Amino acid sequence: DGGITQSPKYLFRKEGQNVTLSCEQNLNHDAMYWYRQDPGQGLRLIYYSQIVNDFQKGDIAEGYSVSREKKESFPLTVTSAQKNPTAFYLCASRETGLGYQPQHFGDGTRLSIL
Amino acid sequence: GQQLNQSPQSMFIQEGEDVSMNCTSSSIFNTWLWYKQDPGEGPVLLIALYKAGELTSNGRLTAQFGITRKDSFLNISASIPSDVGIYFCAGQLGETSGSRLTFGEGTQLTVNP
């Protein structure tokens, strides 16, 4: 099946620990995005990547890092510098180049502090 | 930056009733999107609107792109229990992948059978 796969579904972080969330897509999309969702709030953009080996900060990039070494993969690392990491993290991708194409989302990773 | 005000924040309705929710923006968008999110899952695209004044339907869903480009509404007719979830509006100014989506805070819909 074509789609966006996020793993793991649930993740727990200890104080001072870095954790990495996986996002893989087999849709051949160039652009990929990471969002953070807190209860009762909309989605906030953390990082996005328009092409392999390139990425830009979103609105809340502090305490996070990303890489884009392969077109299909856009992992997000939540570093120990992120003091309030408990949230639902969503990855999205979209096709580019043929007019506007909407973003499509994975099923998310819920990160909690131990 | 751009902000979206989505209302209402929550709705409690009886099965069979019609539902209306809307989003307004302090600045214009060139694209409006409506997503639905079920608990513990990612948002799923319902309707995409690309032109001011456009009215688009998807089954029992109807959405409109406001003529001022600063607002959009979503209607659900004859609601059913599986309509339960959070509905988000999102606006985008440009067409490039670097043009960001701005999301509303969501409308939580509860449908009582």
SS3 state at B3: coil
Helices (H), B42-96: none
Instruction: Please tell me the distance from the alpha carbon of residue B7 to that of residue B68, in angstroms, as a whole number.
Output: 18
Chains A, B: CB pairs < 8 Å = 64
**pLDDT score for B80:** 97
Q: Which residues of chain A have pLDDT under 70?
A: 1-2, 98
pLDDT digits (tens, 9 = 90+) for B7-60: 999 999 999 999 999 999 998 999 999 999 998 899 999 999 999 999 999 999
Nearest-neighbour CA in chain A from B20: distance (Å): 19
> Which of the pair, A108 or B98, is modelled with greater confidence?
A108
**Considering only CB atoms, which chain B residues are within 8 Å of A56?**
98
Contact call for B105 and A40, based on CB within 8 A: yes
**pLDDT score for B93:** 82
Instruction: Please tell me the distance from the alpha carbon of residue B56 to that of residue A83, in angstroms, as a whole number.
Output: 43
Instruction: Please tell me the distance from the alpha carbon of residue B106 to that of residue B90, in angstroms, as a whole number.
Output: 10
Nearest-neighbour CA in chain A from B16: distance (Å): 26
Instruction: Please tell me the distance from the alpha carbon of residue A102 to that of residue B14, in angstroms, as a whole number.
Output: 32
CB-CB contact of A50 with A71 (8 Å):
no
Nearest-neighbour CA in chain B from A78: distance (Å): 19
**pLDDT score for B20:** 97
pLDDT digits (tens, 9 = 90+) for B60-73: 999 999 999 999 99
